Amino acid sequence: MHTLEAKIRAANAVGRPALIPFLTAHFPDRAAFWTAFDELDGGGADIIEIGVPFSDPVADGPVVEEASRRVLAAGFRLDDLLAELAQRRERRAGSAGLVLMGYLNPFLSHGLERLAADAAMAGVSGCIIPDLPHEEAGPVRAALGARGLALIPLVGPNTGEERMALCAGGAQGYVYVVSVMGVTGERAALAPRVAETMARARRAVRLPLALGFGLSRPEQLAELPPKARPDAVVFGSALLRHLDAGGTAADFLRRWR
């Protein structure tokens, strides 16, 4: 069992969904990012998704897009992030699994084999690449897999059951279920189609299902029938807004525990 799947299964075994907070790297600034990272890592996050800023974030809503813009303007470099993660690996506050969520261009610019090697050295266990179609994912999956990293597939309301099975076939870790058509961001309620999307994914996929895009508070999960509730929850925009307003990651995570 891949380490990311094991993290989620362990949370489910004690009766709760795994918690997967999303942080844009070096946001609101480098020091604040590492403070938030440590609070999440030591405060009960099962997996932390670290967003790799990109100038054309087609899947990101206004909060994540603005976070990326600010971080890039401050001189963000993927090399720096991976080196910092590697340096901190032995003295981390906790043991959350780590996933890089970013677009294909920065990863190609870094070099796929080099990315996999550097990410593995940094303690990263997987990558999510929203703009990478399944049909073009072979070289990326091979490079990551050679270092034990999972390429996490995404499925959504417009993904048929057969294609869900295709995208998840041979995958490791978990499958990211996008709750809505569109971009990331907080929403007052879950979209009506989420339960149906989750039901299709349950039939098609053997891996744990992580639900994201639009989650901002734990009460939203109660809107779903028990059988449609995810194995893991991803929350990003609401956390970034909280941090940018001066709140702490520890306080935000407490709402979900």
Mean local confidence (pLDDT), 176-204: 75
Tokens at residue 194, please?
């989420």
Percent of the chain predicted with pLDDT > 90: 79
Tokens at residue 31, please?
């020091």
Query: Is residue 185 scored above 80 in pLDDT?
Result: no
pLDDT single digits (tens) 97-136: 999 999 999 999 999 999 999 999 999 999 999 999 999 9
Query: Is residue 211 scored above 60 in pLDDT?
Result: yes
pLDDT single digits (tens) 22-37: 999 999 999 999 999 9
Q: If DSSP codes are grouped into helix, strand and coil, which group holds residue 163?
A: helix
Better-predicted residue by pLDDT, 187 or 215: 215
Beta-sheet strands, E only, within 69-123 = 97-101
Tokens at residue 186, please?
């907080």
Would strands 47-51 and 154-155 be described as parallel, antiparallel, or unpaired? unpaired
Residue with structure tokens 């993904």?
159
Partners of 48 in the β-ladder: 98
* Amino acid sitting at position 55: S
Q: How far apart are CA 95 and CA 220, in angstroms?
A: 27
CA 55 to chain centre: 19
Partners of 19 in the β-ladder: 233
Query: Is residue 183 scored above 70 in pLDDT?
Result: no
Q: Catalytic residue positions?
A: 49, 60
Q: If DSSP codes are grouped into helix, strand and coil, which group holds residue 51?
A: strand
Beta-sheet strands, E only, within 70-205 = 97-101, 126-128, 150-152, 154-155, 175-178
Mean pLDDT score across all residues of the chain: 92
Q: 113: Cβ–Cβ under 8 A, 6 or more apart, which residues?
A: 143, 146
**What is the per-residue pLDDT for 228?**
87
Choosing among 2.30.110.10, 1.10.3720.10, 3.20.20.70, 3.30.70.100, the CATH entry for 3-252 is 3.20.20.70
